Amino acid sequence: MAAYDERLDRMETQQGISLARIEREQARARRMQEVQGHLLQLLPGEQPVWRTPWEDSPLPPPPADDDDAFMNDIDLDNLGDE
């Protein structure tokens, strides 16, 4: 009986994951339709203005070369020499 209950729990979990995935895809499709609708409202020849999330934020934008700065801190030449 415990194996049966465990199997049911596993199936419910898989169904929950599937439902979450479906809901995520539906939300993504709605966002894409909103973006496409906005782009269709542009006047002929008008270019879309792409805004970054931090443009409306009171915080300063993140540094442009954040990943490169991290990699520059690692001395790859002397990595194995200790």
Which amino acid belongs to residue 53? P
Q: Please give the average per-residue pLDDT across 4-32, as a whole number.
A: 77
Question: In terms of residues, how long is the chain?
Answer: 82
Which pLDDT does position 36 carry in this prediction? 75
Structure tokens at 32: 């894409």
- For residue 63, the Cα-to-chain-centroid distance in whole angstroms is 19
Q: What is the pLDDT of residue 78?
A: 67
pLDDT digits (tens, 9 = 90+) for 37-82: 776 666 667 666 666 655 666 666 666 655 555 555 666 666 665 5
Q: What global pTM score does this model have?
A: 0.35
CA–CA separation, 25 and 42 (whole Å): 26
